[in-house]
Structure 1
Amino acid sequence: MLAIGLWGVNRGGMWRDEAVTFQVARRTVPQIWRLLHGVDAVHGLYYLLMHAVLAVDPVPGEVVLRLPSVCGAAATAGLVAALGARLARPRVGLWAGLLYAVTPMAGHYAQEGRSYALVAAGAAGATLLLVRLLDGAARAWWPYGLVVAVTCLLHELAVLVLCAHAVTLALARAGRAVWWRWCRAVGAVGVVLAPLVIVSQGQAAQVGWLPVPGWGSAERVLRSFAAGPTGPVFWGCVVLVLLGLGRRRLSVVAGPLMVVPPAVLMGVSQVRPVYDDRYVLYALAGAPLLVAVGGDRLAGVMGRGLRWPGGRRVPRVRPVALAGVAAVAVAFLQHLPLHRVDRTPATRADNLAGVSVLAAREIRAGDPVLFLPSIARRAALAYPAAFAGARDLALRESGPRSGTLYGREAGPVELRRRLAGADRVWVVVEPYALGGGGRPSDASDRVKLAVVQEHFALREEHTRPGANAGATLRLYVRVRAAESGPCR
């Protein structure tokens, strides 16, 4: 998993969510704390963690940003292997850990500068602690509560792992004493998590863009969990999962972990949409466990039917484990093209490095710049060197000083005054902003759009190739200046 996570980790560009992590984590702790009161409280602990990580490197970049996720994914693979070894046998753990590592979904989020891979590690660690408690290998419940609390503080929707654990306790027919201790641990987690839940409820508009999930969402996450979206590997994993459900000791842990969090979140999202595949990445850990134990059952059935010519049974030894490793290798090779594509910027929603390259090439010191809409400023925040010396005409107060993500802009009157003195202006514009699909909701953005359309003419346009090229860089000149001829 570590090798797969490091492979192509410097893919050549941050996308919008990673850019938020990058620019927020480089603020001071008081500035981060102030920001969380207005936005992104759900990622607060992660931002503070990344603040410490980025401080290690004097000039942090994309690789340092993603290293915690790579390490989190590697830890998750190890924890999945430990679960398989404890709940079944060592070779099941070996197969499950390797299968988790080669699953494209795990590799994708191992290279995201966001919290999801770390949340997956926390959920797997909490599940292993629960199994140890149920086995009697551990007595103290506070480590379990601590790991769950930290995991939920990294992302509050990780709390659904507790729903999976409750189902596990019910299926395992845990006694009253176990239930009582588990409820106390959950209560402590609730006390720790309550302030975050209260604050984040006031910031719910941040996920207002999420749609109501349907059967397509369920099918997509199922295919993502099954070591790849298509082909014989997918159907082979489905068959092995069904076989694995017959191994009760493991299935009562892995089954709820795989099914309950996505199912509950999709159910809640029918009323209030909050579902996204990345929010339930931690549930992926259950799938390779079921596949691996299904493979173990299949190997056992085949082994019982094999006998030497004299009638003596063929012993099941180390070659069986190696055969399982070979099967995982075949699965990896089957989806190698998908892994390769995933290590390019094209697999993310946008590539802020693209517009920054254009800005570094075209914009000179002192040139005025507008960002339309204001969130297009994220390219300058992610790659400030590309916009060094440019004059941000609309910016009134920077993000760190204002306690916002992208800063506060001048009001409509002040913005018109600033634009009145410009004969030429570079506009970093998102593809949808000039499409005529409606007026911007922000007053400053409406002024930018109106002034540019009424008083300026397009002189140059620069766009990076690719479906997710992101923002476009345009040079506008005032109409009277445009009529006098080229300005450069």
Structure 2
Amino acid sequence: MAVLVPVAVMVALGLWGLDRGGIWRDEAATFQVARRSPAQIWRMLHHVDAVHGLYYLLMHGVLALHPGEVLLRLPSVCGAAVTAGLVAALGSRLCRPRVGLWAGLLYAVTPMVGHYAQEGRSYALVAAGVAGATLLLLRAVRDGRWWPYGLVLAVTCVLHEFAVLVLLAHACTLGLAWVPGRVWRGWARAAGAVAVVLLPLALVSRGQSAQVAWLTPPNGRSVERLLREFAGPSWAVLGPCLVLMAVAVLGPGARRGLSPAGVALPLMLVPPAVLMAVSRVSPLYDDRYVLYSLAGAPLLVAAGADRVAGLVRRATGATPPAVRGGCPHAAGVVARGPASLAPCRPVPHGAAVAVRERPEVCVSGARPVLRRLSVPRARAVPVRPPAPGARPARRRHLGALAGAVLVCGALAVQFPLLRADRKAANRPDDLAAVSAAVGRTVRPGDPVLFLPSLERRSALAYPAGFRGIRDVALDMPAAEDGTLYGREVGPRELRRRLGGLGYVWVVGEPYALRPSWTPCNAIDRAKLAVVREEFVTRAEYVHRGITLRLYVRPRSTRESRSAPPRPASGSDRRGGPAGP
């Protein structure tokens, strides 16, 4: 139940508004690349976007069923739902089921999770892989089987190479737990295997680093933004979450063994901190690249809430001495041998306790020590009648329900953000709207320029609106050329082609048509120079994220013979006698 409820909630939130309509520029890359043949995808990865290669091949199989916006985003919904269940499983294993329930629900209702659960990109799947690897880390520490951990983490890192930073977080977790040498050796072998698998991809993607040239070094605002995305965008949610995180981290016994704080805190802090530090020198940071670290935040909040609940029960005398202290790790419960590395379990209420006069190894403290233990007998003997003993179970259920109600309060506060995120207007652009605008305005056979060239993505994602147009600058289509947007002709050939035209439509980014913009690409510079020197603006259509402008050659006989139709008037018309 602690795992299934968060999964169900995440599925419901993920499917809500999934058919919002047009895709935006990042989703368009997935949509148009994944519809190519595997051979064409493989060829493209040698030139660009190798970091997303495995994801493109996966989505090729998905979109082969039915190419559409909903199916494009559905794998991300599944990834987010799996992550919510894994976060709940982590909380249950590290502490108790109700902590898992609260953590999984908190993860599901976080707006950042909901946003990337509805994006046709790999980030939600990467988060699922990291959460699964973290759960397998706990299992490997207990039973010594490291190959499942290494396998899942290797696949996750190939899905997106920045997931490799979670190895540093896991190393911090093992260091805080003071695990023995055999555990370190097993982890090192698994980490080495992951590095060997990832190395070829890292070398190829390094040569394609121009793709992230738009990134800027992070600053204090980047840190604040990430904190709000992880813990809550408004102080009504952020404040209580920060307090509960502090309780989980600073409470007595919080960092003993494989505790919730020892697992969640490095997961939440280490990957973003390392990536931000590296990005001060070479900008690589974007918050979506560390989405997988968000799983640590709800774990800390839930663990802190459980500790507070334990203190309240202890203050009111509702908890028997054997189980006081909230999370079992705080109760100082000690196990023996290899099993001691597993999460501790509290002594059952009402069980008789025997003292064994022999030393045992304690891994709940800062260092392994020898001490005499009070441990439950193999068969617990109840010392109270069964009927009164049922009350603590009912109290635990009520406590779990109360925590779920508080999560619903957090959902209510954040609901306007979740609702707004289900609209296409909440993305930077809508390529379906661009294609529709071109289809209404441009006639078949009309010449079109894309400025900059990457604006051709709207035609690749939604070709219907561009059917029959003349792409003046295109030399070889994208799928054949093995690139994202196709190969264009050189500046001299472009000038020759434009020289025989009486008019041309320009589909461009708003910034690309501003007088202050200077392209870094020689072909884009040639496009801009020709339309500014040889043409004048006749009409302009401005939509969110796109500008469609008609240029005509002044006093041209060609214009009189082949002038375009007057565009239909509309509220977005600017300049000229008529506008689209």
Classify the TM-score, shorter chain.
over 0.9
Which has the higher relative contact order, 1 or 2, with Cα contacts under 8 A spaced 6 or more apart? 1
Pairs within 5 Å for 1:269-418: 269-306=279-316, 315=392, 316-418=395-497
Match of 1:149 in 2: 154
Amino acid of the residue matched to residue 98 of structure 1?
Answer: L
Q: Distance in 1 between matches of 2:518 and 2:101?
A: 56
Q: Distance in 1 between matches of 2:213 and 2:520?
A: 15
The farther-off stretch of 149-158 and 343-352 is 343-352
Match of 1:47 in 2: 56
Q: Retained in 2: the 8 A contact 1:240–1:295?
A: yes
Q: Retained in 1: the 8 A contact 2:89–2:100?
A: yes
> How many Å apart are 1:231 and its aligned residue?
2.2
Q: Secondary structure at the match of 1:476?
A: strand
> How many Å apart are 1:282 and its aligned residue?
0.3
The farther-off stretch of 292-301 and 347-356 is 347-356
Q: Secondary structure at the match of 1:114?
A: coil
Q: Secondary structure at the match of 2:536?
A: strand
Match of 2:548 in 1: 473
Q: Retained in 1: the 8 A contact 2:44–2:484?
A: yes
Q: Retained in 2: the 8 A contact 1:355–1:463?
A: no
Q: Secondary structure at the match of 1:440?
A: coil
Match of 2:234 in 1: 230
> How many Å apart are 1:150 and its aligned residue?
0.4
Match of 2:45 in 1: 36
Among candidates 115, 126, 147, match of residue 108 of structure 1: 115
> How many Å apart are 1:354 and its aligned residue?
2.4
The farther-off stretch of 156-165 and 247-256 is 247-256
Match of 2:530 in 1: 451
> How many Å apart are 1:454 and its aligned residue?
2.0
Q: Distance in 1 between matches of 2:455 and 2:47?
A: 20
Q: Retained in 2: the 8 A contact 1:371–1:429?
A: yes
The farther-off stretch of 420-429 and 100-109 is 420-429
Q: Distance in 2 between matches of 1:253 and 1:134?
A: 13
Which digits, 9 at most, give the CA deviation of each residue in 1:279-306, with x for residues without a partner?
1000000000010111111111122233
List structure 1 runs of 4+ shifted beyond 6 angstroms.
none
Q: Distance in 2 between matches of 1:317 and 1:148?
A: 35
Q: Distance in 2 between matches of 1:289 and 1:307?
A: 27
Amino acid of the residue matched to residue 285 of structure 1?
Answer: A
Q: Distance in 1 between matches of 2:551 and 2:300?
A: 59
Q: Secondary structure at the match of 2:549?
A: strand
> How many Å apart are 1:384 and its aligned residue?
0.8
Q: Distance in 2 between matches of 1:214 and 1:100?
A: 26
Which digits, 9 at most, give the CA deviation of each residue in 1:45-86, with x for residues without a partner?
1111111111111xx111111111110000000000000000
Q: Secondary structure at the match of 2:555?
A: helix
> How many Å apart are 1:5 and its aligned residue?
0.9
In structure 2, relative to structure 1, the CA distance for the partners of 1:487 and 1:283 (3 Å cut) is closer
> How many Å apart are 1:347 and its aligned residue?
2.5
Which digits, 9 at most, give the CA deviation of each residue in 1:244-299, with x for residues without a partner?
12333111111110111111111111211111100100000000001011111111
Q: Retained in 1: the 8 A contact 2:91–2:97?
A: yes
The farther-off stretch of 367-376 and 163-172 is 367-376
> How many Å apart are 1:484 and its aligned residue?
5.4
Match of 2:362 in 1: none
Match of 1:239 in 2: 243
Match of 1:204 in 2: 209
How many percent identity over aligned positions? 64
Q: Retained in 1: the 8 A contact 2:435–2:466?
A: yes
Q: Secondary structure at the match of 1:375?
A: helix
More helix by share: 1
> How many Å apart are 1:12 and its aligned residue?
2.1
Q: Distance in 1 between matches of 2:121 and 2:506?
A: 29
Q: Distance in 2 between matches of 1:487 and 1:364?
A: 8
> How many Å apart are 1:480 and its aligned residue?
2.0
Q: Distance in 2 between matches of 1:222 and 1:186?
A: 28
Amino acid of the residue matched to residue 297 of structure 1?
Answer: R
Q: Distance in 2 between matches of 1:296 and 1:481?
A: 78
Amino acid of the residue matched to residue 496 of structure 2?
Answer: R
Q: Secondary structure at the match of 1:474?
A: strand
Match of 2:323 in 1: none
Q: Distance in 2 between matches of 1:233 and 1:454?
A: 56
Amino acid of the residue matched to residue 308 of structure 2?
Answer: L
Q: Distance in 2 between matches of 1:362 and 1:106?
A: 38
> How many Å apart are 1:307 and its aligned residue?
5.7
Q: Distance in 2 between matches of 1:204 and 1:456?
A: 36
Q: Distance in 1 between matches of 2:101 and 2:125?
A: 21
> How many Å apart are 1:416 and its aligned residue?
1.6
The farther-off stretch of 320-329 and 203-212 is 203-212
In structure 2, relative to structure 1, the CA distance for the partners of 1:54 and 1:327 (3 Å cut) is same
Q: Retained in 1: the 8 A contact 2:511–2:517?
A: no
Among candidates 126, 129, 132, match of residue 133 of structure 2: 126
Which digits, 9 at most, give the CA deviation of each residue in 1:304-335, with x for residues without a partner?
23369xxx998433111100000000000001
Q: Retained in 1: the 8 A contact 2:446–2:504?
A: yes
Which digits, 9 at most, give the CA deviation of each residue in 1:359-394, with x for residues without a partner?
121122111111011111111111111111111111
Q: Secondary structure at the match of 1:27?
A: coil
Which digits, 9 at most, give the CA deviation of each residue in 1:372-421, with x for residues without a partner?
11111111111111111111111000111111111111112221221122
How large is the Cα RMSD of the aligned pairs? 1.7
The normalised TM-score by structure 2 is: 0.80
Match of 2:97 in 1: 90
Q: Secondary structure at the match of 2:512?
A: coil
Q: Distance in 1 between matches of 2:15 and 2:411?
A: 16
1:79 correspondence with 2:83: no
Q: Distance in 2 between matches of 1:397 and 1:215?
A: 44
Q: Retained in 2: the 8 A contact 1:103–1:225?
A: yes
1:65 correspondence with 2:80: no
Q: Distance in 1 between matches of 2:519 and 2:271?
A: 36
Amino acid of the residue matched to residue 167 of structure 2?
Answer: L
1:442 correspondence with 2:517: no
Q: Distance in 2 between matches of 1:216 and 1:449?
A: 35
Amino acid of the residue matched to residue 286 of structure 2?
Answer: D
Q: Secondary structure at the match of 1:261?
A: helix
In structure 2, relative to structure 1, the CA distance for the partners of 1:389 and 1:80 (3 Å cut) is same
Which digits, 9 at most, give the CA deviation of each residue in 1:159-199, with x for residues without a partner?
00000000001011111111111111111111111100111
Q: Secondary structure at the match of 1:448?
A: helix
Among candidates 188, 192, 197, match of residue 192 of structure 1: 197
Amino acid of the residue matched to residue 234 of structure 2?
Answer: T
Among candidates 21, 24, 33, match of residue 30 of structure 2: 21
Q: Secondary structure at the match of 1:441?
A: coil
Among candidates 230, 251, 259, match of residue 261 of structure 2: 251
Q: Secondary structure at the match of 1:335?
A: helix
Q: Retained in 1: the 8 A contact 2:98–2:400?
A: yes
Q: Secondary structure at the match of 2:21?
A: coil
> How many Å apart are 1:487 and its aligned residue?
4.5
> How many Å apart are 1:113 and its aligned residue?
0.8
The farther-off stretch of 160-169 and 360-369 is 360-369
